[in-house]
Amino acid sequence: MRILAIGDIVGRPGRRAVAAYLPELRRRLAPDFILANAENAAGGIGITKDTGLELLELGIDLLTMGNHAWGKKEAYAFLEEEARVIRPANYPEGAPGRGWAVHRSRSGVPVAVMNLGGRVFFTTDLDCPFRTAERVLEAIGDGARVVLVDFHAEATSEKIALAHFLDGRVSAVFGTHTHVQTADARVLPGGTAFMTDLGMTGPRDSVIGIKKKIVIERFLTQLPSKFEVASGPTELCGALFDIDEATGLARSVEPVRVAD
């Protein structure tokens, strides 16, 4: 089966890019299942019910989140009620929503998706993503052979280490959060597909989605400033995974990138 994973969708330009590019990608790549990271979908930080449903109605089967999961107050209720949106499973017990889910592909195959958050260079006090992954895999059990992991993390070393830790036990591990597509897509020795970061879906002429001038001034002055999502030409970044649904292991992975 073919799975399309879309990198961090940033604000209105990112949602516009999904609307513009996804129909052609569906025709050309024929994915059985589509997921995307939406933690920046509403104004660059967080998600709202309207933006989440907008993306789901465009044909995305499941949305993952990250450290900005709670960026909008209404996300608390939305993540609790909408089973097609998950947040990192290693938030402490009592956080709204769920950290993993099993949904069926267009061909009826169960697909489990696990969302994890990194700890290196993050201020959020999350549980260990490695031990959390173990617990989630035990909970999934025989519920799905195809298992995907969105690891929303800053450090490339942490992402690579988790992929090797799960190699042969999940179908794919892919990183999100840093908004820059990496050139290391590969299948690991145990059969797990890996890519350090899917990249960003949003305004191309920007600093990871934010207006260039604002970010440059912040670096020059070290003064706080309000980030604003950039405008202009857009791009959609992600990866296409080919998974053997009988074994749950990957046959291949290739980067996906389309731009204005």
- The residues annotated with a catalytic role in the active site are 68
Please state, in angstroms and rounded to a whole number, the distance separating the CA atoms of residues 234 and 250: 30
35 φ, ψ to 5°?
Answer: -135, 160
Please state, in angstroms and rounded to a whole number, the distance separating the CA atoms of residues 202 and 204: 6
> What is the secondary structure of 154-212 as a DSSP string?
S-HHHHHHHHHHHBTTBSEEEEESS-S--S--EE-TTS-EEES---EEEESSSBTTB-H
Cα 91 to the chain's mean position, in Å?
16
